[in-house]
Copies of this chain bind each other. A is one copy, B any other.
């Protein structure tokens, strides 16, 4: 074999072993003998595996002892060889005739593999509510593992990821560098008449190109740029078209920088022309609410404290926001850069701990306009650390 040419492993083996230990402790609490991890972010966090192969069934198996096992499509085994920290005998590939077949299912190969290892009994955790663990996958595993009991372990690994290590925070700071560069580029380029697809090309350019000053380049974010204008900005998840930017419209830019799959999202709003009074009023409320929320964002408080502080200010201004105001961030693959554990909303009593990272998502989507200015933050014992240094106020370009 020629020497592998991937960039060095993202984390030390010691860090991966710590993650594995932590995961096994959580498994023990639930009484799990085995864990099947289908979420690509969780797979990467446990093993380092990286590749756009999650459109076929694959998983990481955390058995009772030893290193995790990568399980996937045979042809992706080469990608696993190049990216995981485990030795090569921890990579199991299934034949290609299992792919998108109506007669054969990759989960049939999985249960047979587990049986070979004597791992087909006892309590097995599966990520029941994950994109990458379909109803059919579950049905086939249930049928193939009659001596096992499959238990819902959705979020088990996601929760382990909540507090970031220093190495992870370093990657996220690099991602922050890119999202700042993206917003500066937007502010510089956007103008009436500019085609939105051209602006998106500029956003990708700023998010990806190698920065000689800092010595690294960018990765693809788990969500594409969202930048609806005018009344379309009432919808939070529209992408773009090839039409020109118009006068007297506001556009929010919900984007993230990404480095080694670690994300730093940040949103800002730009108005071309003269913003209406209600938007200026709303901005005042949001900016004040953000200060209140950031003030509550410290170790020992709960997720809901941030939300309550923010929503209290909004209420005072008579603004109704009926959705959550943030979520944890870090390592992610499409379709989401959130970690899908806690939420910054009323009723979520999860305690904030130093090293947790959140996208404080204070966006407003009203009936015929939208406004977003957000911060990505690190929880500390004192005031939160902001990943980015970027004015929050809407940029108005005449």
Contacts and interface: CB of A to CB of B under 8 A. Distances in A.
Contact of A136 (B50, B128, B196, B224): B128
A194 B223 CA distance: 26
A95 interface: yes
B139 A235 contact: no
A338 B55 CA distance: 10
A216 B132 CA distance: 34
Q: How many copies does the complex hold?
A: 2
Contacts of A217: 195-198, 241-242
A67 interface: no
A96 B205 contact: no
Contacts of A241: 6-7, 217
A78 interface: yes
Given A128-B135, A210-B195, A74 B204 contact: no
Contacts of A235: 51, 75-76, 78-79, 81-82
Given A128-B139, A138-B138, A322-B74, A201 B197 contact: no
A68 interface: no
A345 B96 CA distance: 10
Interface of A is mostly: loop
A83 to B, nearest CB: 8
Nearest to A215: B242
A367 to B, nearest CB: 8
A63 interface: no
10 contacts: A5-B230, A6-B241, A52-B226, A54-B335, A74-B322, A75-B365, A100-B327, A105-B129, A197-B217, A210-B242
A16 interface: no
B230 A209 contact: no
A201 B195 contact: no
A368 B239 CA distance: 38
B204 A198 contact: no
A195 to B, nearest CB: 4
A21 interface: no
Interface string A223-263: 11010011110111111111100100000000000000000
